[in-house]
């Protein structure tokens, strides 16, 4: 019973089923980042998030944030290449 509860908690915290996806664009660029969550730094300080493709933590001073479906996330972002 405890094991099942732990597995459920890991899935919920880890963004298992039903994840929300976001496309984040710096204004005036063609660059797009994809993430499952972001932190608004408040007071015009921008946003911070983990880029799904690279795993890098990114902070942008200004951005356009769009909530999207999983179908709108490019395949190469969902299946990032791993480095040897």
pLDDT of residue 44: 87
The residues with which 66 forms a beta bridge, in sequence order, are 23
What's the pLDDT tens digit per position in 19-61? 899 999 999 999 999 999 999 999 889 999 999 999 999 999 9
pLDDT of residue 14: 46
The whole model's pTM is what?
Answer: 0.72
pLDDT of residue 6: 39
Q: How far is it, in rounded angstroms, from Cα 25 to Cα 65?
A: 7
Which three-class secondary structure string do you get for the chain?
CHHHHHHHHHHHHCCCCCCCEEEEECCCCCCCEEECCEEECCCCCCEEEECCCCCCEEEECCCEEEEECHHHCCHHHHCCCCCC
State yes or no: pLDDT of 5 exceeds 60. no
pLDDT of residue 79: 84
What's the pLDDT tens digit per position in 55-84? 999 999 999 999 999 999 999 998 866 666
């Amino acid at each position: 019973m405890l094991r099942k509860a732990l597995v459920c908690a890991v899935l919920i915290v880890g963004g298992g089923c039903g994840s929300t996806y976001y496309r984040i664009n710096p204004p005036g660029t063609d660059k797009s980042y994809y993430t499952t969550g972001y932190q608004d730094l408040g007071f015009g300080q921008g946003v911070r998030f983990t880029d799904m493709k690279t795993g890098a933590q990114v902070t942008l001073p200004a951005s356009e944030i769009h909530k999207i479906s999983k179908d709108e996330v490019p395949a190469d972002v969902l299946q990032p290449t791993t480095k040897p």
